[in-house]
Structure 1
Amino acid sequence: MKSKLSKSQKIAQCFSPAAFIHDTEENHQKIELLIREQEIGGLTFFHSRHSAAANFEKRAEVLAVSGTLEKMIQLINRFQRIAKVPLLISIDGEYGLAMRIENTPQYPFAITLGALQGKAGNQLAEVGYRMGLDMKAAGIHLNLAPCSDVNTNPNNPVIGYRSFGTNPEKVAEYSMAMYQGMKKAGIAACLKHFPGHGDTQTDSHLGLPVIQKSKSELQKEELLPFQIGIDQGVEMIMVGHLAAPALSHSREIASSISKEIITELLKKEMGFGGIVISDALNMKAVADLFTEPGQLEWEAFHAGNDILCFSDHVQEGIAKIEANASEGEVDAVFEKIWNLKEKLGVFAFKNLEVPVFDWKSHSVFQSQLAKDYVSVLHGNLDPEELKHLADQGKLSHKTFFGRENTTFSSKLSQNYGSELSKTKLEQAEKVIISVFVPSHKPINQFGMDQTLVAELKNLAQAKPCILVHFGNPLALKHLGNFTDFEAVICGYQHFDEAQAMAFHLFQ
């Protein structure tokens, strides 16, 4: 089969356009046409057009969004059946299938895993392994994760919770551990977003971020996790849509279409010989640069990308690359992709069944992780004093941004023998404040209503308070200074297991 493919068929193997699980039948048929007529090499699955990060158009139709996993399995089976060359199926699941598909196992965010106190490397590898097994069972061959971005800019609108932290060596260790875990599970993974998206203030879904640092500064920070990954044999790297003029002869050009950054720096200078995959080519940082359909795809290929993700102009892109690239260039890229498919067992496709997840085992694992990341960031707790206050009816509990009946609140009530939220704040000598941050993204102060934030701050000024924060720790800065509280506990996630572990600190 391989030896009979034409130049355009080989080029088509580079393309992995988006497939939306919740979409119209008409759009599913358009994907079928791409498979039949263009013979694309793969598909990247997203939940829906509405939820795809780069899509900001208003949708007229309302689609049913239940049964996402079942629908994805049906679509993979449907699309694989008609593919002459089996498709490489990928998904962007940084914290598991749950990032795109409801009712599937969710793992902690990278920022949470960055807070692990135990044998973090082993735990990260286990997270990657379990995540990989979930994906493999669902017909996924490639997870577009983990992030190797060093989150040095606290105002970063797009990385934040997706980074393991601010220390380049730690980010390198953790991202490689997760990468190796996924590899052990039998799926492919990639480090992203080269050359490093951590110190940016623009969301590349909306515009072109620019990092104004010298090359030596970039080498010490942004580039370090990727260099360490390359030295340890990482096989795939995703290039982001961000400019680093110090790396591209002073030009403000997206790395994803810069030959200086991909071919000269990543491949030649840093010694990467694996597969380079582009970030989504429909993102505003690059999508609007070229008016002629297919030109962007050629620019990305010419710069050194092997897999073109989320291309909106597949047919024109194939034609443009065929017209401009040499047989040797095409063959070199094609061999990489074909070998990857062989290695991942893509050619041995069998009809998929809907996977059944072991939720009990998942919960046990979540609890083990929570034990090592839920932590007291400030102050101390005195459980005996709290019990004494509760017995006197002088301990209250107030929840902000969450439903009243949470796992944390019900465990507090069981422990103290009364529903603390019913103790009036005026009567209380001390208040436990639990915050369930509405959004893990920093837009509009992480979705926190400012009236409620003001109420929380006033309460902390009026009485001794213990703050228990469930959600992105970067949101803590909006709730006042740590010294405003008697103690600050960070639970990092809304998970029941994280709430249970936070409660244990009160016993």
Structure 2
Amino acid sequence: MNKSQKIAQCFSPAAFIHDSEENYQAIEKLIQEQEIGGLTFFHSRYSAAANFEKRAESLKTEGTFEKLVELINRYQAHSKIPLLISIDGEYGLAMRIEKTPQYPFAITLGALKKDPEKWVKEVGYRMGMDMKRSGIHLNLAPCADVNTNPENPVIGYRSFGDDVEKAAKLSFATYSGMKKAGIGACLKHFPGHGDTAVDSHLGLPILQKSKEELKAEELLPFQYGIDRGIEMIMVGHLAVPALTGGKDIPASISRELITNLLKNEMGFKGLVISDALNMKAVANLYPKPGELEWQAFHAGNDILCFSDHVKEGIEKIGQMASDAEVDEVFGKVMDLKKRLGVMESKSIEVPAFDWESHSQLQKDLAENYVSVISGEINPAELKTLAEGGKLGYREFFTQSPSHFSQELNLSSLPIDQAEKVILGVFVPSHKPLNQFGMDQAVLDEIKALEKSKPCILVHFGNPLALKHLGKLEDFQAVICGYQAFEEVQKVVVQTLQGL
């Protein structure tokens, strides 16, 4: 293979499942003419990470999974060397593809009380098996970020929490589960995106911490993984001046950070993959096509994700990089492909999911993480009130009555006649924008209710949203369900019934 062909193996541009036939053919042309090494799949152009500010666009959703499998087969048929197929599925295929198994968010798994590492590894394994059967070789997950900034606009629910040790152990457990399933995984977003207040899809976050502080927090989960032999790390688009001689240079294109710190000082011997190169934090820095790709390669990235300028990137790297540098990276990429069974890729059928087994796992997990986080529940008292027609129920942010309300089966009692009220809050969004999607008037209504009589708050959603509901101690009790899965709603009912 010539130098350009070897460089092309580093490229994993975006492929969109819902797209035009013209765009599908453009990808085929890229595969045939540039001989790229892989593809990273996204739902559609509107839902791709860097475009999420335009998400008001209506997305087509019919047959997404079938379409994905069809496209993987189609694109593989056009590639001389089988493509490394990757997806960013932090909570499973469902992060990108409707009607596929969704697993709990990292923040939810961070709340597991018993044997968290064992359960998280199982989740990683199940996610990995779903992907492997679908023709995917690499999941660009999990986040090893420590979410120490509750105002973080982009990490939040994607992190296992604000505890460094927990983030280290659970991100490694997820990674291990996926590896057990036979697919690749990576810890991200090195050197740690948790304590930032800017979304790197839109601008450059700058982390003003000393190297000592970073070692004790941000870098620790990555070092934990490196010490246990992880094979891939994704580098984020955030600046850490303390590690780059005071310069506000994104980590993803910083040689000091990737080559000097990660590879030399921290001892990482695996592959480095860049975060999406179309993200505004880096894409705006180098308007000349190909320059950003060269900067990322020179910094020490082995796989270039979501490059918008593949042809120019290959040419620029070809001009600037030595044969030895190219050979080293090419060798790493080909070794990865062999390890993950990419070279034996063959046409696949659309797999069926075992929904019964998935639901059982969700139930087991929910029983482990649903928690009374404030006050106490007295099931006997609630039963007496319910039987006497004195227990009220209201729910918020639902379009139709929830499974929870049906399971509770409380009569539609006027609230002023109730002695106690259960408030079911189904948080509309897991992202902090606009108070997690909660309308202020509704929040005021909840606070007024809580002042008027004893209330039990049941919070189905990101626990970071609780701060918008007032002081927890003002409620008689608070149950956190973390998410609104049907299995979670059933477990909360059992908690109220003392089962």
Using the size of structure 2 for normalisation, the TM-score is 0.98
Aligned-residue offset at 1:64 = 3.4
In 2, Cα distance between equivalents of 1:339 and 1:198: 32
The answer to whether the 8 A contact 1:88-1:346 is kept is: yes
| 2:462 equivalent to 1:466 | no
Match of 1:123 in 2: 119
For residues 4-403 of structure 1, the aligned pairs below 5 Å read 5-55=1-51, 64-403=60-399
In 1, Cα distance between equivalents of 2:253 and 2:56: 33
| 2:454 equivalent to 1:444 | no
Deviations 1:267-302 (A, max 9, x none): 000000100000000000000101110000000000
State the one-letter code of the partner of 2:226: I
In 1, Cα distance between equivalents of 2:347 and 2:231: 28
Match of 1:416 in 2: none
**Secondary structure, aligned partner of 2:496:** coil
**Secondary structure, aligned partner of 1:19:** strand
In 1, Cα distance between equivalents of 2:295 and 2:352: 42
The answer to whether the 8 A contact 2:61-2:98 is kept is: no
The answer to whether the 8 A contact 2:46-2:59 is kept is: no
1:33/1:135 CA distance change after superposition, 3 Å: same
State the one-letter code of the partner of 1:79: Y
How many percent identity over aligned positions? 68
Aligned-residue offset at 1:389 = 1.4
The answer to whether the 8 A contact 1:147-1:192 is kept is: yes
**Secondary structure, aligned partner of 1:268:** helix
State the one-letter code of the partner of 1:473: P
**Secondary structure, aligned partner of 2:335:** helix
**Secondary structure, aligned partner of 1:505:** helix
Match of 2:471 in 1: 481
Deviations 1:344-365 (A, max 9, x none): 1111111111110000000001
In 1, Cα distance between equivalents of 2:238 and 2:323: 30
State the one-letter code of the partner of 1:476: L
1:210/1:59 CA distance change after superposition, 3 Å: closer
Give 2:446's match in structure 1, choosing from 456, 464, 469. Answer: 456
Aligned-residue offset at 1:102 = 0.4
In 2, Cα distance between equivalents of 1:290 and 1:364: 49
In 2, Cα distance between equivalents of 1:479 and 1:57: 26
In 2, Cα distance between equivalents of 1:9 and 1:377: 56
Give 1:492's match in structure 2, choosing from 482, 486, 496. Answer: 482
The answer to whether the 8 A contact 2:47-2:55 is kept is: no
Q: Please list every run of at least 4 consecutive aligned residues from structure 1 whose deviation after the TM superposition is greater than 6 angstroms.
A: 59-63
Aligned-residue offset at 1:444 = 0.3
In 2, Cα distance between equivalents of 1:64 and 1:268: 46
Deviations 1:326-349 (A, max 9, x none): 000000000000000011111111
The answer to whether the 8 A contact 1:23-1:63 is kept is: no
1:62/1:487 CA distance change after superposition, 3 Å: closer
**Secondary structure, aligned partner of 2:43:** strand
Aligned-residue offset at 1:62 = 6.7
State the one-letter code of the partner of 1:499: Q
Structure 1 window deviating more from structure 2 (380-389 vs 332-341): it is 380-389
Deviations 1:434-488 (A, max 9, x none): 0110000000000011111110111011110000000100000000001110000
In 2, Cα distance between equivalents of 1:115 and 1:59: 30
In 1, Cα distance between equivalents of 2:49 and 2:30: 23
Aligned-residue offset at 1:169 = 1.2
The answer to whether the 8 A contact 2:457-2:478 is kept is: yes
In 1, Cα distance between equivalents of 2:35 and 2:56: 30
State the one-letter code of the partner of 1:372: N
Aligned-residue offset at 1:390 = 1.6
**Secondary structure, aligned partner of 2:49:** coil
Match of 2:419 in 1: 429
In 1, Cα distance between equivalents of 2:98 and 2:346: 24
Note the aligned Cα RMSD (angstroms): 1.2
Any stretches of 5+ residues in structure 1 without a counterpart?
Answer: 414-418
For residues 400-411 of structure 1, the aligned pairs below 5 Å read 400-411=396-407
In 2, Cα distance between equivalents of 1:63 and 1:459: 37
Using the size of structure 1 for normalisation, the TM-score is 0.97
Deviations 1:13-51 (A, max 9, x none): 000000000011111111111100000000000001111
The answer to whether the 8 A contact 2:46-2:57 is kept is: no
Aligned-residue offset at 1:406 = 1.3
In 1, Cα distance between equivalents of 2:82 and 2:432: 40
In 2, Cα distance between equivalents of 1:334 and 1:119: 40
